[in-house]
Structure 1
Amino acid sequence: MSSDQLIAVATDALRGLVQAAVPPGTPVLVGPPSPEGEELSGLSVHLFRVGVLPLVRAVPTIGADGRRVRPELGLQLDYLISGLGGEALQELGLLGTALQALADAPVRERQSMAALLSQPDRLSAMAAGSVTVQWRMLDLPLDQVSGVWLASGMRQRAGVFVRAEAVWQVAPA
């Protein structure tokens, strides 16, 4: 079980969900927009924090059949979805569209996630079992918001902070 696979799948699924919601041809990039880059209309999905879900730090247990049950791998992945620096009102409209898409589909299971992925082979390469991602909007205090912008080196603009609670439970062997 590998956390890098879960991070990649959850990030790509978030990018795909936002990409499916915005008008065709609108770029949705993973990573922060380059401070020197061309300003264009679109959105970026920037992972800025990785944490472990508190409930999945448990030690392995023995199932009813006597087999060892592997613990879940659960991560908290915090993202900033922001504009790429295009026209301000258009950028705000794209953020509103992204927010609505996240509110309409806050939970994705393994079987419904594949359609969102730009690289579906990452999901199929994960061991059999369940994969669930639940997205939640974050309401960060102003000092934390400023800290994220400062640490990322991005020019501050409107943005949506999102937490993905990603859980991967490997099927018992």
Structure 2
Amino acid sequence: MSSDQLIAVATDALRGLIQSALPAGTAVLVGPPSPEGEEVSGLSIHLFRVGLQPLVRAVPVLGPDGRRARPEVGLHLDYLVSGLGGEPLEELGLLGIALHALADTPVRERQSLPALLSQPDRLATVAPGSLGIQWRVLDLPIDQVSAVWLASGMRQRGGVFCRAEATWQAFRE
């Protein structure tokens, strides 16, 4: 399994988690809003940093079926959730809803992910094994927040920074 598949599944699951919490018809787009794009009500999810989780050297553990398990991929995916430029107070309300969705259901296992995915078949691209995603809201220092906005080229507005800690573990016989 490659990390690009895990990144795609985690990003789509984050989009689905936030979309499911917002009022029907509210747009949730993956990627930064276009500076020339039409200002609409909704949120964007922008992946701005990908990192590897530190490797943990441990005694192999047994999986649920009794087979030995070993870590394969562990990623830290940092996102900026921001508005698409609609009415400012409405946008802030949407960010509040997104924040609650992240805090209320921070952990998702493989079996609960299909309900969040826009393309549930995408989950099949992640090889069999244990798959989990944990979302954490990040409290970044103001200089880091400013650096992300500046580097992204987006117009600065309210935003929620979060991390997906995505782990996949294969089972060996």
TM-score by length of 1: 0.92
Task: Give 1:149's aligned residue.
Answer: 149
The question of 1:110 aligning with 2:94 is answered: no
Q: Matched residues, percent identical?
A: 75
SS in 2 for 1:114: coil
Aligned to 2:87: 87
User: Deviation string for 1:41-73 (max 9, x for gaps)?
Assistant: 0000000000000135x59x7779xx9854331
**What does residue 140 of structure 2 align with?**
140
Misfit runs of 4+, over 3 Å = 61-64, 67-70
Q: Verify the 8 A CA contact 2:71 2:168 in the aligned structure 1.
A: no
Unmatched tracts of structure 1, length 5 or more: none
Q: 1:94 to 1:2 in 2, by over 3 A?
A: same
Q: What corresponds to 1:121 in structure 2?
A: 121
Instruction: Write the distance in 1 (CA, Å) between the matches of 2:169 and 2:120.
Output: 18
1:121 positional shift: 1.0
What SS does the corresponding residue of 1:92 show, helix, strand or coil?
helix
Give per-residue Cα distances to partners, 1:105-148, cap 9 Å, x unaligned: 00000000110000111112221101100000101011110110
2:76 corresponds to? 76
CA distance in 1, matches of 2:164, 2:126: 18
Could you tell me how far apart the structure 1 residues matched to 2:54 and 2:60 are? 20
Q: CA deviation at 1:24?
A: 0.4
Superposition pairs for residues 37-56 of structure 1, below 5 Å?
37-56=37-56
Structure 2 unmatched ranges of 5 or more = none
Give the SS at the match of 1:44. strand
Tell me the TM-score normalised to structure 2 length: 0.92
From the superposition, tell whether residues 62 and 116 of structure 1 become closer, same or farther in structure 2 (CA, over 3 Å).
closer
Partner-residue secondary structure (3-state), 2:55: helix
Write the distance in 1 (CA, Å) between the matches of 2:151 and 2:13.
24
CA distance in 1 between partners of 2:5 and 2:69 (Å): 20
The RMSD of aligned alpha carbons is 1.8
Aligned residues: 169
Name the structure where strand makes up a greater proportion of residues.
2
SS in 2 for 1:161: strand
Residue identity in the other structure for 1:94: L
